């Protein structure tokens, strides 16, 4: 008998990653979508189209797991609030079940990424884990004594919206705050800091790319940093320091064994993580700072997709 297969979808702030996943967490088919803006109907249509593409490759897929960048009410699967997508008040799980004709399970995108890394990734074997997903924004997932923490209704662990600088830049999307970790250490923040460095340092590779008409994104800054551009490397060091302040707070609050850092911005690797580790060593309290490991996600940018598939394989998660 062939292994049971499901569809996992990670619908992030600006892109969607999906796939057909079997019980051994092998990914058999991948789908990708990008979005820039769009209204609620367009966002929902893109998700449905992505599921249908994956389903065409695996007609036997038994169910669908979806991670969305939203506060998700655990009992109903409704989207209560989203900083990045127009999903506030959407009965997401029931709507997707109706449109797809399949069992659908939904949770916050960082929660499902945490589930993947805890079960089969960089935090396997640990009982107390925190996941940070660095992309357009920063998502958070928390495992406490082997169980995913969701808060009273499902809105817990929004770690990207802890304030690390009360006079910092405005946060993104619908967040009303300033100086959130998301505003200071996300992929978007890397791009913003990179653009400022390009303007400040005209001899840098960043400035050259800007003169040639390229948009200074977090991905470009990371690429140039790996190529050795000093200005780009300085940006990752600065942003990594901000990340370290956030992680030091997390270490003091949760005392995790492992902090897993994922999302697209983890392409910066140790250029981002080493400054973060140094700040945690300076700022976090002993003995927690000596216990914690700060590591990149095993599943990289696919952690959310694999975790969403696990949600479906579990028929509702942990």
pLDDT digits (tens, 9 = 90+) for 199-210: 999 999 999 999
Question: Are residues 78 and 191 located together in one domain of the fold?
Answer: no
pLDDT over 80 at 129, yes or no: yes
Q: Are residues 105 and 139 in the same domain?
A: no
What's the mean pLDDT in 155-173?
94
Stretch 244-264: mean pLDDT? 97
Has residue 204 been placed in a domain? yes
Cβ-contact 318, 115 below 8 angstroms: yes
Per-residue pLDDT of 99-122, as tens digits, reads 999 999 999 999 999 999 999 999
Q: What is the pLDDT of residue 315?
A: 73
User: Quick one: 82 and 138 in the same domain?
Assistant: no
User: What is the structure's pLDDT at 195?
Assistant: 97
pLDDT tens for each residue of 73-100: 989 999 999 988 899 999 999 999 999 9
Q: Are residues 105 and 143 in the same domain?
A: no
Rounded to the nearest 5°, which phi and psi values hold at 46?
-60, -40
Residue 106 domain flag: yes
Q: How confident is residue 37, by pLDDT bands cut at 50, 70 and 90?
A: low
The domain tally of the chain equals 2
Short-list 187, 174, 9, 13, CA closest to 107: 9
If asked whether residues 63 and 130 sit together in one domain, one would say no
Q: Are residues 97 and 24 in the same domain?
A: yes
Q: Is the pLDDT of residue 316 over 70?
A: no
Integer-rounded Cα radius of gyration of the chain: 19
CA distance 244 to 185: 9
- Quick one: 101 and 142 in the same domain? no
Taking 80 as the threshold, does the pLDDT of residue 264 lie above it? yes
Q: What is the pLDDT of residues 38-76, one digit of tens each?
A: 789 999 999 999 999 999 999 999 999 999 999 999 899
Residue 56's pLDDT is 94
- The helix or strand, by DSSP H or E, that contains position 249, with its residue range, turns out to be helix 230-254
Determine the structural domain holding residue 306 and report its residue range.
5-114+302-313
Domain contains 318: no
Let me know if residue 120 belongs to a domain.
no
In a domain, 66, yes or no: yes
* 51 found inside a domain: yes
Shared domain for 265 and 291, answered yes or no, is: yes
Domain match, 188 and 245 both: yes
Q: Are 174 and 229 members of one domain?
A: yes
One domain, residues 200 and 283:
yes
Note the pLDDT of residue 1. 45
pLDDT, tens digit, 9 for 90 and up, residues 10-31: 998 888 999 999 999 989 899 9
Report d(CA 12, CA 15) in Å as an integer.
Answer: 5
Please compute the mean of the pLDDT values over residues 166-192 and round it to a whole number. Answer: 95
pLDDT given for residue 245 in this prediction: 98
Instruction: Indicate which CATH number applies to the domain containing 214.
Output: 3.30.420.40
Residues 290 and 307 in one domain: no
For residue 287, whether the previous peptide bond is cis, meaning omega lies within 30 degrees of 0, is: yes
């Amino acid at each position: 008998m062939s292994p049971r297969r499901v569809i996992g979808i990670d619908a992030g702030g600006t892109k969607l990653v999906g796939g057909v996943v079997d019980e051994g967490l092998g990914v058999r088919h991948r789908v990708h979508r990008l979005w820039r803006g769009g209204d609620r109907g367009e966002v929902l249509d893109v998700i449905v189209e992505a599921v249908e593409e994956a389903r065409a490759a695996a007609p036997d897929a038994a169910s669908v797991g979806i991670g969305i960048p939203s506060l998700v009410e655990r009992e109903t699967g409704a989207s209560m609030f989203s900083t990045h997508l127009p999903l506030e008040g959407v009965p997401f799980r029931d709507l997707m079940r109706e449109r797809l004709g399949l069992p659908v399970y939904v949770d916050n995108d960082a929660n499902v990424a945490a589930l993947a890394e805890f079960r089969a990734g960089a935090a396997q074997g640990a009982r107390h884990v925190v996941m940070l997903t660095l992309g357009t924004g920063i998502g958070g997932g928390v495992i406490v004594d082997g169980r995913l923490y969701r808060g009273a209704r499902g809105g817990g662990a929004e770690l990207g919206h802890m304030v690390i600088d009360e006079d910092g830049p405005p946060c993104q999307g619908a967040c009303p705050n300033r100086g959130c970790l998301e505003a200071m250490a996300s992929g978007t923040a890397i791009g913003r800091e990179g653009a400022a460095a390009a303007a400040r340092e005209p001899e840098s590779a960043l400035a050259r790319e800007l003169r040639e008409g390229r948009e200074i994104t977090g991905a470009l800054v990371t690429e140039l940093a790996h190529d050795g551009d000093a200005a780009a490397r300085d940006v990752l060091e600065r942003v990594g320091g901000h990340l370290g302040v956030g992680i030091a707070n997390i270490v003091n609050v949760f005392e995790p064994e492992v902090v897993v850092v994922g999302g697209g911005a983890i392409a910066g690797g140790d250029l981002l993580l080493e400054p973060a580790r140094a700040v945690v060593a300076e700022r976090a309290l002993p003995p927690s700072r000596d216990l914690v490991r700060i590591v990149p996600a095993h599943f990289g940018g696919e952690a959310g997709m694999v975790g969403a598939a696990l949600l479906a394989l579990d028929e509702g998660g942990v």
